[in-house]
Amino acid sequence: MELVVFIISAAVAILGAGAMVLSKNAIHSALFLLLNLGAIAVLYLLLRAPFLFAIQLIVYAGAIIVLFLFAVMLLGAERAEDERDRIAWQRPVALVMGLLLLAETIYVIFFAPRASVLATANSGGGEDFGAPIHIGEALFSVYLLPFELTSVILLAAIVGVVVLHRREQQSRGAE
């Protein structure tokens, strides 16, 4: 049963990712990315990580996709690639390198001697493993320092965005 859910969500995730890369319109790309993120959120639920499922939906599917759609519409960048490609030869080269990377991944995962973690199917374990209460306890005890550092990173991002915008306004005023 779980395998069926896994296969369906994995197929949706891969289709969404592929369509994101292939679609000409950037708005469609953002919406396909949303599909992909939703499928990965289902996989998190399958992996017994309900907290990350919620975070994925709120932060990625909610905030980040909205930011992307907003930027695409603001810049009118839906069809930024309509003009001719000036370095067209790099596209087949990129495809070849991607296929090489895929072959390498398949070799490492399925054929190379591997660590015991990968070899064993994941044991069921406690049902409430990864419950929000355990994550909260770990976050505010063992991982307190990185948690506080995250707030510094977020503050730096906010300040950076405001500074970028201010400088843009000043340069416009000078013109």
Q: How far apart are CA 107 and CA 114, in angstroms?
A: 11
Q: Which amino acid does the sequence have at 21? A: V
What are the structure tokens assigned to 118, written together?
Answer: 């990968």
Contacts of 155 (CB under 8 A, 6+ apart): none
Q: Contact between 167 and other proteins (CB under 8 A)? A: yes
In the complex with other proteins, the residue whose CB is nearer, 110 or 113, is 110
Q: Contact between 166 and other proteins (CB under 8 A)? A: no
Q: Contact between 61 and other proteins (CB under 8 A)? A: no
Q: Report the residue from 112, 133, 145, 164 that binds other proteins according to the rule CB under 8 A.
A: 164
Alpha-carbon torsion (39, 43, 48, 53), positive or negative: negative
Q: Contact between 109 and other proteins (CB under 8 A)? A: yes
Q: Contact between 46 and other proteins (CB under 8 A)? A: yes
Shortest spacing between CB 149 and other proteins, in angstroms? 9
Q: Which amino acid does the sequence have at 46? A: L
Phi, psi (rounded to 5 degrees) for 126: -70, 140
What are the structure tokens assigned to 80, written together?
Answer: 């930024």
Q: Report the residue from 118, 128, 140, 144 that binds other proteins according to the rule CB under 8 A.
A: 118
Q: Contact between 8 and other proteins (CB under 8 A)? A: no
Q: Contact between 12 and other proteins (CB under 8 A)? A: no
- On the 0-12 / 13-18 / 19+ scale of CB atoms within 10 A, 41 is buried
Q: Report the residue from 8, 63, 140, 144 that binds other proteins according to the rule CB under 8 A.
A: 63
Q: Contact between 80 and other proteins (CB under 8 A)? A: yes
Q: Contact between 57 and other proteins (CB under 8 A)? A: no
